[in-house]
Structure 1
Amino acid sequence: MLRFLLNFSALVFVIFINSLYNALPFNGQTTSEIANRLNVLFTYLHQLDMKRLILHAVKF
């Protein structure tokens, strides 16, 4: 039970911090604007996978 409470409280904390990062701009920029400026292969591949998933869903 203690392990469950620790995991659940950590999840709530992560969601709370993530919502703060999305709601409050850092130096006048949101986290998505900062991430879009960086050319990182991981985010590019993720975008490609999402496009494939959407195209596959539209076919059916």
Structure 2
Amino acid sequence: MTTTVLRWLLAPRTSWTAWKLVRGSKGNLTFDAAWRAARVHLRPDEVLYQRYGHIPPRD
């Protein structure tokens, strides 16, 4: 099961908001980045999750 499918199943409202953000960006925003933005908009206490998603991977 992909992360996108899992997100749609567990957080449909956040996923719907993210989908609308992606559509409005005309291809300039990935679903992953839009999902994190939507999640923080709907649940401000999860800002640490958004920041974690933008940290470059360690080698």
Scaled by the length of structure 2, what TM-score is found? Answer: 0.31
Structure showing greater Rg: 1
Structure with higher RCO (Cα < 8 A, 6+ apart)? 2
Scaled by the length of structure 1, what TM-score is found? Answer: 0.31
